[in-house]
Structure 1
Amino acid sequence: MKKYGWVILAAFLIWLWPSSPHVNAAGADLFLDGRRVEAPADAKPEMVNGKIMVPLRVVGEQLGYQFKWEPQAYKISIQKNSTDMSMYVGRTSADVNGKTVNLDAPPVLRGNSTMVPLRFVGEQMGLKVDWNNKSKSVNLSQKAATQQADKQSQSQKSEQTLTQSTTSTQKLSTATETTINSAEVDKHTETALSPSKQQNVELSKANALLVQNITFDDEALRISLNKDITPKVFKMTGPDRIVVDLPEAALVSEFSQTFPIRDDGSRVLTNSNNEDVQEIRFAPTDGQNGGVRIVIVLNQARDYDLSKNSSGEITLQMRARNVDSVMTPTNVEGRRIVVIDPGHGGKDPGAGSVTGRHEKEFTLAVALKVEQLLRNDPDIQIVLTRNGDTYPTLDERPQIANNQQASVFVSIHGNSMPASNNGKANGSETYYARQESLGLATTMHRHLVDATGFKDNGIKVANHVVTRKSQMPAVLLECGYLSNLSNEAAMFTEETQEKIAEGIVDGLKEYLGTGTGTTESLN
């Protein structure tokens, strides 16, 4: 009988699930715990083969997950605490802590986002999921899922409470009265309070100042509170830090518990791809009336602008650093500016080669040869993001091009694969991030492959910072594999470096329409 009961229940759940083709999720709104989550314009929730798909990274980053995208394998790895997941675009299964989990639909790429089935998000990330067909919105709730689990626990606690004596109940009530936290009142404790004390507790909760969410994106720290307050913000050194103090505030447990607590009592907010930010940590303070402190630990000093609104939203926007002086063209009149970016440099050596050389040496050597070839060109002015063993950050490199209003941005790199690949990977490939760069990528890749003579690995889309943030057509050239003995041996010869430089120049001239002939040799 139980067997048939489960069958009936499963059939009922499937009937409820919004998988019929007439439900249209395209462009739907996405909400997490009642708060709208902004998804990229090209990665809104949508219906794919009858299954609602949502942007995995957008949802996951709100919950503190860490992501790694491997474009060559079309693989996305997700990690949080003791949970490790990996999935592949186009594959109907995922790996969760070493076990294979079947998916309702395979992940798909939309722009720079990976879309996954809504059911997977609910099951693997512990969320309650709901599709509202009337408002065309996807609603995710970690609170509801937590409350459901708490109810079971509280039910067990209630049974134990009923068996306790009146004296022990009074002791529990007295102890709770002196230690109660305004941010979270345990429901079990509430049942042990007298009506007058319960009223005081509810009043305390209503007046509490709560930190409901903290996020960091696009160099902006955003803090959501339930009330409008003015934070205390100041800078510190050794290391450089920006400190945000919220006196008398408390952390909402549903938010803070998303992040593991460290030995020092702080929690670390997941940070993504910012060269200047080392980490963002937050923790309750030891003040008499409580409080929360948020610290942005920096790799180098940055200024900021602070703003807030009446609904309790506080934004700390880091100011852009002025990098105009990093490299300035000597002559731009009547000439098209092209920014050449030798990858890595300084403290960042890049990939290591099979013979112990470094990627930063190769990229700079090729870039300097490109500059030499175009030094006296009447149509093109070259600007280098570095001309020595220095390290402009990933944000600075495209900013140089944007400040110069360049026509083209080209980043030079050497590729590598782990030792487990046994040096088999080889060849040249070209990456771009935005559709407007496809024409440049097509032209530059053809000349790159002709110059290296390596295997043609094609043109690929990837979300590299330098190509995404450049406001002009931009490409990243992976000239060859330093982990491949044959590729590496050629890449560190003057002859191959000169050929690659000549290929880059020929590609630039063809794309810009400034010349149709082949570049003269450096020799």
Structure 2
Amino acid sequence: MHLVSAARQPRRTTHRATLALGTLAILHTLALAAPATRDEPPLAIVQAMTIAQNEQAVTVRLDLSHPRQPQMVTMNSPAYKVYFDIPSARIRPEAVQSKERNVGHRFLTGVRLGQFSDQPPIARIVFDVTGRERVSATETNGGKTWLFTIAGGAGTPKEPAARKPVTRLESLSITANEAEKATIELEVGEGVAPNAYALTNPNRLVLDLDRTELRARLPRDWGQGLIRDLTLDQFTGDTVRLIATLAQDALVEVRHQPGRSPLTVTLTAGRAAAALRMPNVGGGLVVIDPGHGGRDPGAVGGAPGLNEKTVNLDMGLRVKRLLEARGVQVLMTREGDTFVELRERAEIANRAGADLFVSIHCNAMPTAMKGQRSGTEMYSYTPRSSEFSQVMVDAVSAAAKTPNRGTFRRAFVVVRYTNMPSVLVEVGYIDNANDAALIGSEEGRQRFAEGMAAGILSYLSSITGRVDTGATPVQLAGTEGPR
């Protein structure tokens, strides 16, 4: 196979298998790209960022595998920033050698490039300008290269060197494709860099094999099961892309030990957590406050042994893990069954200089009305917390599929005496049968935690402009990603 630079438009052999009228057909075509759906552009790869500067100006160059139209946003608080969001795009982790650059220019202190959102896939480049300097964007190379200039620009940075494959995908087999489970095995040599992502509407797994040349073909027959459709192509000069369209939500596990074959993809029918919008945030400090604890059990549910202090802590620790996986520092007001005074909880956040504070609780009705109310509520006190409160209630109720009962202003100690945007989350009513079933189950508490993490990450990224500098691929429903 003849390979050319990804900066040019290579002709790639695309192997596509589809199910039509119950008959499996193989279509061999030549195409510039293999879109995941007819109306959707392919998931572009952000390949490189380079910078040129002189005493008067700066130019930042961004190279992508496919044309995109960045969308500019300016922020005035807490500091003036300019950033551009690049839709339907993923960062190639090892291709962009330095995603956070200390420029040290009089007009620009630094540039940060990262994966703002996994679902939908949005890459973000942030410019830390020193004043209110204008950042202009100009496209070249048909929209696959963008030049961001400050003070007129400092010329065009040098084009990055073309990357070449170092290994081959020799074969692909589907060892199982049942209604509830499917397995794909890929025989690949040393040096492969697998990156897995999730897309929805329809549910799809995207597996990019960086530094790889395509030699394999899709099998002719694999039956009808969880996998409904597969495409396999040489997406760029050094990236092979596999897209699996699924019959339903699925949990995905990608296993690979460097230097060993095969690379194994296991799909299991189930709710995919990746449908949540969880942007990666490179920094920030969030205080998580599991309500009650120690001598204060909080509310007690209808199920035996279901008490609020225990489930609050469980959800808090789950949120902590989700946030830390996306680059956020987390401080807990308690990590065990201990009692902490309300004012001390607020002071923990104030002393730490936290960006956000989230107190986790379960609601309950008075004895005469027990079980009569259901849903998620959000409480805040200060005006600066109202937007955060709305983001959170929407995210939590969507993730847990509970009634959204809205936001409320109350002078609770933990939200009144904190110096940063703060909310008190009432995930649901522990005395309601439906809510208690969620609160009392591992799956339900994970859903609440995912919703809280999604809301925190979304709001934190919007107020700070921070983005992840590691660009870790999305992992579906807590399963392991590429190793």
Larger radius of gyration: 1
* TM-score between both structures, scaled by the size of structure 2: 0.38
The structure showing larger relative contact order (alpha-carbon pairs under 8 Å, at least 6 residues apart) is 2
